[in-house]
Amino acid sequence: MRPSHRGALPTTLAALILSVLAGCSGTHHGSAVAPAAPAAAPGSPDRRPADDPATWTLPLMRYLPTDAQARTIGRARETLTRDCARRYGITLTPEPELPPLGPKNVMDWRYGIHDRGLTARRGYQVDDAQQARYDAALRARGKLPRPSPDTSVVVSGTRLPPDVLAAAGPEARKGVVAGKPVPDGGCAGEAQRTLGTATQGVSPFVARLMTASYPRSMEEPDVRRVFARWSGCMRERGFRYAAPMDANDDPAFRPGPRGVTREEIATAVADLDCRAAHRVAEVWHTAETRLQNDVVAREAATLAAERRALDRTLATARRVVEGKS
């Protein structure tokens, strides 16, 4: 996993954004993240440590759940699904969460690498110990027993892959288990309707805006100028790239059996030096903030409605998690 030309968007929140957008990607693999910081009000100064983009915000983030809020909605969805399954005599065991992998939150790698210690060891790759823990947890999860076809019908309804549905019992294939009809979309669908969201609170509209501002920001005149200065700095060091994410996305540096090469580390260290010398991330973030402020003003009514919908979902989710539903 590494930052990419589309802006890093790790889970919990970012993976949800990616699933909503069905095909857009911000990292090479999914990862778990810490809660995102609250967004600054439009037009307000962004007080942040200049060297830690993980602490930065963007105006549209206020219309998305934080990672902590997305986890609350996820826990509520699991609780509702599990309670529903009990009506059919089925006890569901949640899969264990995977450990963190990659960027800390939705902003951490959005504008590229910035951690000098990690870059000097790993170039554009994630921490090796973190990757090892994640891979081990993924292997352990893969060894867990698979649910029976009838259980899959209870959880997800009858819109399953043909081979899974064909393996279910004759009544289950018709959407009936334990003599009771299965809700549309199964217990998971019922949970989504109760919470009022199929995406853990991530609005598809907001997700599209959040993603669209990233490539647009790279076309802003001040960003193009700072990219040109960065490119000149890299050329002086013997590396030819037109823009920062071109180095980051160089196919020669993709994860592979060779591991991290000296060439990758040398390139990444030079990249980081040139970013710092010309304040690339700061200029880029300022431009994207400006673009998003314009969008927030233009779409104020729709965004306010999306925020109200998110707040309703969060209120319901908290009641479920606290056992007050």
127 assigned to some structural domain: yes
Q: 242 near 231, Cβ under 8 Å? A: yes
Q: 153 near 168, Cβ under 8 Å? A: yes
Q: Which residue reads 């909605």 in tokens?
A: 73
209 assigned to some structural domain: yes
Q: What percent of the chain has pLDDT over 70?
A: 84
Number of domains in the chain: 1
224 assigned to some structural domain: yes
277 assigned to some structural domain: yes
Mean predicted confidence (pLDDT) in 182-186 = 97
38 assigned to some structural domain: no
149 assigned to some structural domain: yes
Range of the domain at 127: 13-33+59-321
The rounded distance, in Å, linking the Cα atoms of 210 and 208 is: 5
Mean predicted confidence (pLDDT) in 301-313 = 98
53 assigned to some structural domain: no
Regarding predicted confidence, which is higher, 257 or 225?
Answer: 225
Write the pLDDT tens digit of every residue in 263-275.
Answer: 999 999 999 999 9
Write the pLDDT tens digit of every residue in 245-255.
Answer: 999 999 999 98
141 assigned to some structural domain: yes
The structure's pTM equals: 0.83
